[in-house]
Structure 1
């Protein structure tokens, strides 16, 4: 193992967006067993510190790889197409119009059924966006376009959380 390896090398998996989650999780658990600080408890402080560094590195890689949004962003960055979410918020007009329509629908939703319908639509948009990420990253290798798709997915994820929050609030209010 090398601390300088990218996450995919560390986990010994292909450098691609589409991944077998169960295989990744099994590899994470194996790496954790191998580098767990408790295995080095009887050794000197330096060995314990190195084990702790490895454990942190493994967990950071796992956090990026298990989350499709983070994995897509990481792949873009590995290929020189940083997401720059703070600096680059430019989106296609059609996408921005969709966001405005969703926001209005969320504001106007006065029933659980209306929120559930909106939630279904947003989840489908998320699935479509992930499919497009797979195509752009694994097939077309168009990392600049994939970075834009990841930024769009970030908007969709944030809005999906807003819908969930609203559903939760509506459920609490009805209790």
Structure 2
């Protein structure tokens, strides 16, 4: 095995946003069974260390490819296209206003301890995330429009952070 291989090649998958999740899962389990440190418990120090390095590498690659946002960021990295996440101030005003409205709705529902409203917001946001994933698939796999894909990734980073805030608010309402 080669430590310099990209995550897709490691699992023998084509580099694409649309992946077969079941195939990824199966290849991950297969790889883990081959490199897991428990298999090398009685081996020499060098082999045990190498096994641990490979198990770590396989886990990292799997986690990156399993998560759609991480997978999109990784594809952009492979294409030598910077996501520009440190430059989120350049987001379009309408998107930022929309994000502020979402955050206000979450804050109001949290303050009023309206768990049902938070669940509603959570489901709406999950639908939006799925739509954004579909859009990323077209931009990355079909059009290879890395500039637009990077913009959508930056937006998705905001949206996923908001989803975590909603989850936290729902937990706070249950306490």
| TM-score normalized by the length of structure 2 | 0.92
> Which deviates more, 156-165 or 80-89?
80-89
1:123 aligns with 2:146: no
Give the Å deviation of 1:80. Answer: 1.2
- Equivalent position of 1:80 in the other structure: 80
Give the Å deviation of 1:87. Answer: 3.8
- SS for the counterpart of 2:53 is helix
Q: Deviations over 1:91-119 (max 9, x none)?
A: 12221111011112112223223222222
Work out whether residues 76 and 144 of structure 1, in 8 Å CA contact, stay in contact via their aligned partners in 2.
no
Task: Flag the 1:47–1:127 CA change in 2: closer, same or farther, 3 A.
Answer: same
Task: Flag the 1:145–1:123 CA change in 2: closer, same or farther, 3 A.
Answer: same
**Structure-to-structure mapping, 1:128-167, within 5 angstroms:** 128-167=131-170
- Equivalent position of 1:3 in the other structure: 3
Task: Flag the 1:42–1:87 CA change in 2: closer, same or farther, 3 A.
Answer: same
RMSD between aligned residues: 1.4
Give the Å deviation of 1:88. Answer: 4.2
1:35 aligns with 2:38: no
> Which deviates more, 39-48 or 66-75?
39-48
Q: Deviations over 1:40-65 (max 9, x none)?
A: 23332212221111111111101101
Task: Flag the 1:88–1:162 CA change in 2: closer, same or farther, 3 A.
Answer: closer
> Which deviates more, 12-21 or 121-130?
121-130
Gaps of 5+ in 1: none
- Equivalent position of 2:18 in the other structure: 18
CA distance in 1, matches of 2:12, 2:59: 15
Count of matched residue positions in the alignment of Structure 1 and Structure 2: 172
- SS for the counterpart of 2:90 is coil
Work out whether residues 136 and 143 of structure 1, in 8 Å CA contact, stay in contact via their aligned partners in 2.
yes
- Equivalent position of 1:50 in the other structure: 50
